[in-house]
């Protein structure tokens, strides 16, 4: 049986591939020392050592790939701090900055399906490296580093301790814990079999209702992505809580496979994407915590974000999709919060990295301090801005990357002037194609940067209109 091995190509956040086909021990052993050298070339003047952090999540054989990575980097003359256990990717970004290291290399495929594993490269600043760094790594593929005079040192470390301590200092942990113990707040957490397992209990110092905590490399037959179709047990648990804890503020939190993405649910068990959570966080950070700085959003972010930013007299900076663009902005300007539609949210007072556990703490703090559940907060913000909108996204698997190329060429050569019977009044092509219609409904057609998938995003005034536009886009792609 013939199969295609895809080239090593870095996407929006790292290189990912199918295990045993694209992602192999041989390729990782070749790539890892080159990545370490590029980190040294770019961050050697910032770091005060030649240390590289190596970590991993809970995917199939992730720890074995991490051990191999640590070994080949050590043999190339670099010192290595290798994680003694799985941890969230943001914990390794935190470690890179805390240890003044050259950066971090993390074995994870984030939210991708179970057949994938990947390699993320993090900078000395504690965030994703910019595109020019990954381009340098790709340019070195196939080359060999000169032999090191002597191997570096290899030490094990606990990635959780310093990371948790850092996050705990950013919120009122005592108030959140007190509300949980008194049953004024009930927290439901779905870690999707991923690296956030045990994270909330470590941070809060008290039990929460955590589901899908076990290590399952098949992710229950789905993918560790915080989307409604993968969360039936989560919604069931929250709805059951309405009977068991009728007088508690009930909050649902979902983390992706490596805990850099977050989603949530309100007290009724309604799914809340980051399109809802980001506005809630903007209000909390600006109004209650008094944070300053601009708001950064991607092209797929909700139109509610700039409207709310105007209420707090904050400027908005828009980027292509991919948190590395937000992280790069954080190194250039004062940023209060930056977030993307897919669940990655980060903060200028933290490392330039999306961090789902920190976002979860801020969400819980917002609920405790406001005394409102998430659905009520969001509805109030819609009233405040006089803006009501609905949003959804669908992902269409493509047969291969050749189909992807044909669809992209079609978009470029036959750009639609009408969508679902509505005239297109504006088209933004900074990342994919974002069509805005005359009633401010918008549709974004964009290709995944890590797998053969077409992503379709829509925001409109009603959910029926959202579904109508998405069906039009699906038909367009399939035709």
Q: Is the dihedral of CA 211, 232, 11, 295 positive or negative?
A: negative
Tokens describing residue 281: 């966080």
What pLDDT digit, counting tens, does each position of 303-362 carry?
A: 999 999 999 999 999 998 888 889 989 999 999 999 999 899 999 999 999 999 999 999
pLDDT tops 90 at residue 450: no
Look at residues 395, 274, 398 and name the one whose alpha carbon lies nearest to residue 341: 274
Q: How confident is the model at residue 5 (pLDDT cuts 50, 70, 90)?
A: confident
Q: Name the domain count of the chain.
A: 3
Per-range mean pLDDT, top range of 234-243, 304-313, 395-404, 451-460: 304-313
| Distance between CA atoms of residues 471 and 72, nearest Å | 49
Alpha-carbon span 325 to 453, nearest angstrom: 21
Average pLDDT (95-120) is 96
For residue range 195-225, list pLDDT tens digits in order.
999 999 999 999 999 999 999 999 999 999 9
Instruction: Identify each DSSP E strand in 356-416 by its residue range.
Output: 390-397
Rounded average pLDDT over 403-428: 90
Given a contact cutoff of 8 angstroms between Cβ atoms, the answer to whether 300 and 457 are in contact is yes
pLDDT value of position 11? 81
Q: State both tokens at 397.
A: 């698997």
Task: Give residue-wise pLDDT tens across range 457-474.
Answer: 999 999 999 999 999 999
Q: Reduced to 3 states, what is the DSSP secondary structure of residue 456?
A: strand
Reported confidence tier of residue 398, pLDDT bands at 50, 70, 90: confident
Nearest Cα to Cα of residue 15 among 168, 151, 134: 134
Cβ pair 16, 117 in contact under 8 A:
yes
3-state DSSP assignment of residue 60 = coil
Question: What's 425's domain CATH number?
Answer: 3.30.310.50
**Beta-strand runs (E) in 334-388:** 335-339, 345-347
Phi, psi of 397 (to 5 degrees): -65, 140
User: 3 pLDDT exceeds 90?
Assistant: no
Quick one: how far is CA 57 from the chain centroid? 14
Q: Report yes or no on 9 lying in a domain.
A: no
Does 364 fall in a domain? yes
Mean pLDDT of the chain: 94
Contact in structure between 477 and 410 (CB atoms under 8 Å): no
pTM: predicted TM-score of the whole model, two decimal places:
0.93
* Closest by CA position to 367, among listed 357, 358, 378: 378
User: Do 103 and 130 share a domain, yes or no?
Assistant: yes
Q: Do 144 and 179 belong to one domain? A: no
Segment holding 168, helix H or strand E: helix 160-168
Same domain for 397 and 368, yes or no, is no
- Do 249 and 197 lie in one domain? The reply is yes
- pLDDT at residue 479, rounded to an integer: 81
Question: What is the predicted pLDDT for the residue at 457?
Answer: 95
Encode pLDDT of 50-81 as tens digits. 999 999 999 999 999 999 999 999 999 999 99
Residues 340 and 302 placed together within one structural domain of the fold: yes
The residue range of the domain holding 269 is 170-385
pLDDT band at 2 (very low <50, low <70, confident <90, very high): low
According to the model, what pLDDT value does residue 306 have?
96
Q: What would the two tokens of residue 60 be?
A: 């199939």
**Residues 280 and 412 occupy one common structural domain:** no
pLDDT of residue 367 exceeding 70 = yes
Neighbours of 11 (CB within 10 A): 14
Phi-psi region of 61 (alpha: psi -120 to 50; beta: other; left: phi over 0): left
Rounded distance, CA 31 to CA 22, Å?
Answer: 13
Is residue 368 included in any domain, yes or no? yes
DSSP state of 127: S
Whether 407 shows a pLDDT value over 90: the answer reads no
Dihedral pair phi/psi, residue 157, rounded to 5°: -150, 160
Q: Report the candidate in 232, 266, 229 with the shortest Cα–Cα distance to residue 251.
A: 266
Q: Which of 364, 374, 311 is nearest to 173 (CA)?
A: 364
Please give the Cα distance from 89 to 55 (Å, whole number).
Answer: 8
**Contact (CB, 8 A) for 269 and 250:** no
Query: Do residues 220 and 367 both lie within one domain?
Result: yes
Q: Are residues 141 and 177 in the same domain?
A: no
Cα–Cα dist 281/20, whole Å: 41
pLDDT at 392 over 70: yes
Query: Which pLDDT band holds residue 243 (cuts at 50, 70, 90)?
Result: confident
Per-residue pLDDT for 155 more than 80?
yes
Residues 205 and 354 in one domain: yes
Residue 427 has pLDDT above 90, yes or no: yes
- Domain presence at residue 2: no
Mean pLDDT, residues 392-399 taken together: 89
Same domain, 142 and 175: no
- Report the Cα–Cα distance between both ends of the chain, in Å, rounded: 30
- Supply the CATH number for residue 345's domain: 3.40.120.10
pLDDT value of position 230: 96
> Predicted confidence band at 376 (pLDDT cuts at 50, 70, 90)?
very high
């Amino acid at each position: 049986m013939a199969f295609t091995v895809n080239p090593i190509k870095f996407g929006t956040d790292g290189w990912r591939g199918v295990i045993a086909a694209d992602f192999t021990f041989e390729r990782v052993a070749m790539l890892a020392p080159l990545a370490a050298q590029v980190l040294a070339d770019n961050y050697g003047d910032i770091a005060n050592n030649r240390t590289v952090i190596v970590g991993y999540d809970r995917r199939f054989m992730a720890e074995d790939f991490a051990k191999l990575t640590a070994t080949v980097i050590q043999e190339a003359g670099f010192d290595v701090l290798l994680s003694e256990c799985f941890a969230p990717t943001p914990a390794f970004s935190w470690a890179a900055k805390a240890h003044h290291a050259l950066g971090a290399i993390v074995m994870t495929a984030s939210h991708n399906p179970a057949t994938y594993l990947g390699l993320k490269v993090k900078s000395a600043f504690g965030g994703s490296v910019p595109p020019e760094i990954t381009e340098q790594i790709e340019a070195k593929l196939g080359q060999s580093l000169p032999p090191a005079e002597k191997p570096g040192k290899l030490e094990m470390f606990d990635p959780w301790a310093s990371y948790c301590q850092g996050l705990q200092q950013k919120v009122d942990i005592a108030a959140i814990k007190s509300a949980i113990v008194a049953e004024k707040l009930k927290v439901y957490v779905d870690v999707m079999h991923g690296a956030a397992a045990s994270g909330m209990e470590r941070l809060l110092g008290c039990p929460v209702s955590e589901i899908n905590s076990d290590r399952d490399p098949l992710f229950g037959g789905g993918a560790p992505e915080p989307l409604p179709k993968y969360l039936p047990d989560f919604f069931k648990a929250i709805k059951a809580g309405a009977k068991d804890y009728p007088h508690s503020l009930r909050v649902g939190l979902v983390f992706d496979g490596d805990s850099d993405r977050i989603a949530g649910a309100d007290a009724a068990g309604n799914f809340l994407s980051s399109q809802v959570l980001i506005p809630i966080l903007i209000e909390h950070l600006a109004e209650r915590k008094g944070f300053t700085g601009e708001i950064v959003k991607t092209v797929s972010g909700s139109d509610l974000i700039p409207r709310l930013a105007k209420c707090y007299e904050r400027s908005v900076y828009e980027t292509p999709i991919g948190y590395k663009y937000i992280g790069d902005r954080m190194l250039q300007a004062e940023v209060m919060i930056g977030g993307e539609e897919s669940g990655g949210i980060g903060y200028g007072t933290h490392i330039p990295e999306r961090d789902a556990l920190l976002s979860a703490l801020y969400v819980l703090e917002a609920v405790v301090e406001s005394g409102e559940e998430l659905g009520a907060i969001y509805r109030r913000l819609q009233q405040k801005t006089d803006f009501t909108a609905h949003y959804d996204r669908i992902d269409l698997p493509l047969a291969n990357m050749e189909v992807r190329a044909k669809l992209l060429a079609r978009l470029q050569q036959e750009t639609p002037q009408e969508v679902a019977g509505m005239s297109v009044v504006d088209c933004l092509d900074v990342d994919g194609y974002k069509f805005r219609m005359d009633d401010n409904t918008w549709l974004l057609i964009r290709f995944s940067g890590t797998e053969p998938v077409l992503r379709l995003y829509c925001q409109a005034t009603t959910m029926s209109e959202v579904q109508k536009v998405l069906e039009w886009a699906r038909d367009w792609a399939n035709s």
